Amino acid sequence: MAGLFIDVQVDASVAKDPALTKKLVEVCPVNIFAANDDGSVRIVEANLDECTLCDLCVRAAPPGTVRILKLYE
C-alpha cells in the first residue's frame, strides 16, 4: 500500500545520482529511501506514512528536487 498520508517525490536528476542517494538513505530517520543496485534511489512505499516531516531529505538535496507531499491537506 502506498502512502495514505504522505507522498515523496524525487526529481530524476537526484534519483540517478549515487552520491545524493547515499545522502538521502542516510538522513531519513524512517527509511523511506533505499538504494538500488545501480546506486539510484528507490522510495520504500511501505514506509511512506512513517515520514516525520523532518525535512532532512529536502535539505540534503538541491532546492526543489525532493518534495514531501501531505496528502491530507
Partner 1 sequence: MRFYEYESKALFRRHGMPLPKSGLAREAADARRIASEIGGPVVLKSQVLSGGRMKAGAVRFAETPDQAAAHYEAIVPIVVNGQRCRAVLVEEKKGIAQEYFAAITWDGRRKCPVLVFSDMGGIDVEEVAEKHPEHVSKTHFSSLFPITPRIAKEAIGATGVTGDALNRLTPIVFELMRVFLAYDLTLAEINPLARLEDGRFVVLDGHIDMEAEARGKHKPLLAELAIAPEETRQAREATPFEIRGAEINAQDHRGVAGNVVGFDGDLGLVIGAGGGSLTLFDAVRKHGGRPANYCEIGGNPSVNKAKELTKLILSKPGVRKIAVMMNVVSNTRVDIVARGVIKGCIEAGKKPSEVIAIFRIPGAWEGEGFKILRKYGVDYCDRSVSMYEAAGKAVAKMRA
The residues of the shown chain that bind ligand SF4, judged by CB under 6 A, are: 8, 27-30, 32, 51-57, 68
Output the nine-digit C-alpha cell for 25.
Answer: 538513505
Picked from ligand SF4, partner 1, none, the partner binding residue 49 (CB below 5 to 8 A depending on kind) is partner 1
Residue reference for cell 528536487: 65
- Judged by CB under 8 A, the stretch of 10-18, 20-28, 36-44, 49-57 that binds partner 1 is 49-57
Asked if 31 is part of the footprint of partner 1 (rule: CB under 8 A), the reply reads no
What are residue 68's DSSP bridge partners? 8
Residue reference for cell 538522513: 27
Task: Please name the residues in contact with 14: beta carbons below 8 A apart, sequence gap of 6 or more.
Answer: 20, 24, 41, 61, 62, 65, 66
Q: Give the nearer residue to partner 1 in terms of CB position, either 37 or 73.
A: 73
Shortest distance, CB of residue 6 to ligand SF4, whole angstroms?
Answer: 7
